[in-house]
Amino acid sequence: MITIILKIILCSSLMIAIYYLFLQREKMFRFNRFFLLFALVFSYAIPFVQINLPAISEQKNQLIFEEIKTQQLIQNTAQTSEFDWMNFILMIYSLVSVVLIIKMLISIFKITNLKGIDLIYQNQNIKLIEKDLPPFSFWNKIYLNKSYFENEKIDRRIFLHEKTHLTQKHSLDLIFVEFLKAISWFNPAIYFYKKAITDNHEFLADEEIINQEFNIKDYQKLILTEVLQVQNLSVINQFNFNNTKQRFIMMTTKKSKLENFKKLFAVSVIAGSSFFFVQKVYASGTNENVNLNPEFQIDSSLKTDTVVVVKDFKTENSKVKKSKRSEKHNSKKQFEDHELPIPPPPPPPPAVNFSNAEFPEGLNELRKGIADAFDSSFIGKNEKVTLKTMLYVTINKNGEAVEVKPDGAHQKFNEEAVKAFKTATKGKTWKPATEEGNPTATVFQLPITMQFQ
């Protein structure tokens, strides 16, 4: 999920950068509106799209799970902190999103509940409000202070400006971007989109006035003489904006000879970035940069408290090594060297009083999930090396894997093994170990070896 979020941020940032660098100053407002809206939809959708690619066969990586008994050590020491930072971050994200959505709804409520008189003016819904606000429009209605309605007439330029916002459905754009801002407030690019879309709406409305052959200077004076007031309503198109200078510049800007080239360039960037931000799934069934996808056939007669013997496998990229059974490890020395908060293993408890923790889908599915999630791209294509690590997984009495510590010589391999384990077990609740019939915390031990050939 983190990868998808990063792709959304990077893609939306690239698209808005293209807009500000190449499109903003061009007098092609309708194309710019389409580009901004499509760029937003594209940026938030493309990371979820998957494409199938041929398998990569340049390097054969073999993921090996040694056949040893999984030692599960009773955790008698004081429990380490089980504070879940991911849940805390998710709670903060949800809280901010809810607040922003409520704020948007309040803005809409304030607009629709403004006190005033509703009437039809030139086949358009108008509301004459008592509050002293500059003209603005929302949804299908123009909102004006009573002072703008004199002799049963409204200044034609003001009326046409606000009517343009309504006929071109600018309110839908603003509601859409406000919703995206609420659910992705952490994305800095979304705030630039909000400003760009709002400015573009004004350019479109101003263009309609100029096309009606109104005097540009008189229209500019009208804008300057409007009383500038902050409304703090994020979902409306109002006659008063702080981008007055930019609007005046665009009123007199002539079309560029490079307009068509810039349109083609913008479309090309979107097309080219599609392949970069899409999820690439290779024929072996793994995601991009992952060359491992073991498929196991397991002997169902084996107990789940031992690493399952693999009788056969379907891919060349994975196998199970049959090593000497019950290979002994000097656990005490390992823990001291690597400062793992795991006590030396006590004598094995009687089977009648102690039962091991169990992965809900079985140990073989756990190993397969780890292989699927393992990214071996950190090893060079021409390197031939065998890497090993031992994962010590602390499983509390609630069946939660609260801590994973690797014990291997290669730091990057350790990190990727931990990452693959967490991905394979995400959202899974283990069956906790029991001692004397009561749930107890244990440490689950899982060896992983990989051969690069």
Which string of DSSP letters, residue by residue, matches 374-426?
Answer: ---TTS-TT--EEEEEEEEEEE-TTS-EEEEEEE-S-HHHHHHHHHHHHHHHT
Q: Which residue has the higher pLDDT, 377 or 414?
A: 414
Partners of residue 145 on adjacent β-strands: 129
Tens digits of residue pLDDT in 233-244:
556 655 545 677
The residue among 275, 443, 244 whose CA lies nearest residue 343 is 443
Point out the least confidently predicted range of 2-6, 86-90, 255-259, 314-318.
314-318
Residue 330 pLDDT class (50, 70, 90 cuts): very low
Point out the least confidently predicted range of 92-96, 102-106, 215-219.
215-219
Domain boundaries defined on the chain: 2-52+88-277, 59-82+291-452
Residue 304 pLDDT class (50, 70, 90 cuts): very low
Q: Considering the chain, what is the average pLDDT of its residues?
A: 76
Instruction: Please report the pLDDT score of residue 104 as a whole number.
Output: 92
Residue 62 pLDDT class (50, 70, 90 cuts): low
Phi then psi dihedrals of residue 245, to 5 deg? -60, -45
Q: What does the alpha-carbon distance between residue 127 and residue 139 come to, in Å, rounded to a whole number?
A: 12
Residue 55 pLDDT class (50, 70, 90 cuts): low
pLDDT of 301 strictly over 70: no
Helix (H, G, I), strand (E, B) or coil at 324: coil
pTM: 0.58
| Percentage, residues of the chain above pLDDT 90 | 24
Point out the least confidently predicted range of 25-39, 196-210, 342-356, 439-453.
342-356
pLDDT of 255 strictly over 90: no
Point out the least confidently predicted range of 18-27, 148-157, 323-332.
323-332
The residue among 391, 363, 405 whose CA lies nearest residue 450 is 391
pLDDT of 305 strictly over 70: no
pLDDT of 154 strictly over 80: yes
Strands 296-298 and 310-313, sheet pairing:
antiparallel
pLDDT of 318 strictly over 70: no
Residue 172 pLDDT class (50, 70, 90 cuts): very high
Tens digits of residue pLDDT in 266-295:
999 999 888 888 887 766 444 444 333 333
pLDDT of 9 strictly over 70: yes
Point out the least confidently predicted range of 225-239, 395-409, 431-445.
225-239
CA dihedral of 358, 362, 363, 365, whole degrees rounded to 10: -140
Average pLDDT over residues 336-346: 47
Residue 368 neighbours by CB distance under 10 Å: 22
The residue among 413, 397, 394 whose CA lies nearest residue 451 is 413
Instruction: Please report the pLDDT score of residue 221 as a whole number.
Output: 82
Average pLDDT over residues 164-183: 93
pLDDT of 343 strictly over 70: no
Partners of residue 452 on adjacent β-strands: 61, 385
pLDDT of 333 strictly over 90: no
The angle formed by the CA atoms of residues 388, 390 and 395, to the nearest 5 degrees, is 155
Instruction: Please report the pLDDT score of residue 94 as a whole number.
Output: 93
Residue ranges of alpha helices (H) inside 66-84 are none
Instruction: Please report the pLDDT score of residue 171 as a whole number.
Output: 92
Residue 43 pLDDT class (50, 70, 90 cuts): very high
Tens digits of residue pLDDT in 354-403:
788 888 888 888 888 888 888 877 776 666 778 888 888 888 888 888 88
Average pLDDT over residues 213-222: 82
